[in-house]
Amino acid sequence: MEDLQDGTKVIFSGETTFGYKEWDGPLIRISGSNIAVSGTSNHTINGGGERWWDGEGSNGGKTKPKFFYAHDLDDSTITGLNVKNTPIQAFSVGSDNIVLDSINIDNSDGDDNGGHNTDAFDVGESNGVTIRNAVVKNQDDCLAVNSGSVCILLQPHTETTLLTPHPRTSYSLVVAALAVTVSLLDPLVVVMTTP
């Protein structure tokens, strides 16, 4: 779903599944401006990651598709998605002025079945990204910020947590971008901007 008409609403309902193929992906690609992506209360987007998991993630083994590209999805929202078993990284974000809200990513089936590099949010080449109310159960980073990103705002899921990582999640926040300043505004909100 690329270059959607401005103002388009994309709504996931029921269970969405995908066929199997070894490729880079993504399984879902949405682009456009002023797009509202959401899910009904009973939906699940099941990436079927167990078919690709081999303990190597993106470091080798089977070629695994990324799950969701939110590239060139400017001035848009992704709200209330329930995601299960992504093959590797869940959300690849390369957009300006985008809000990702109330996203539940559950890759806990990968804990004992070879899930690896199942980052929740990989943000690169973006400006004005807000991630809030995320619940993440995975085998890698909750958030990885890559080069070219400015003004990333994280807001807490609860009053005590920024992201809710699974006990096996290795990192809550990884900043790989060059020349990025991390500022703690209060214990619950992290804002990153370039100097």
Ranges of each domain in the chain: 9-193
What's residue 152's pLDDT? 65
User: What would the pLDDT profile of 60-74 be if each residue is shown by its tens digit?
Assistant: 999 999 999 999 999
SS3 174: strand
CB distance 142 to 121 below 8 Å: yes
pLDDT at 72: 97
Tell the residue number behind the tokens 């299960």, with chain if given: 84
User: Do you know the residue count of the chain?
Assistant: 195
Determine the pLDDT at residue 148: 66
**How far apart (Å, rounded) are the C-alpha atoms in residues 89 and 1?**
19
Residue 31 identity = S
What residues in the chain have per-residue pLDDT under 70?
147-195
Nearest to 144 by CA among 63, 60, 58: 58
Q: What is the reported pLDDT for 114?
A: 94
Is the pTM higher than 0.95? The answer reads no
- For residue 192, what pLDDT is reported? 38
Sign of CA dihedral 188, 189, 192, 195: negative
Classify 18 as helix, strand or coil.
Answer: coil
pLDDT, position 77: 98
User: Could you tell me the fold of the domain covering 9-193?
Assistant: Pectate Lyase C-like (2.160.20)
Position 81, amino acid: L
Nearest to 58 by CA among 126, 141, 129, 149: 141
Number of Cβ atoms within 10 Å of the Cβ of 113: 15
Tens-digit pLDDT profile for residues 26-70: 999 999 999 999 999 999 999 999 999 999 999 999 999 999 999
Strand ranges (E), 13-111: 15-16, 28-29, 32-33, 36-39, 44-46, 68-71, 73-74, 76-79, 82-84, 91-94, 96-101, 104-106
What pLDDT score does 165 carry?
Answer: 45
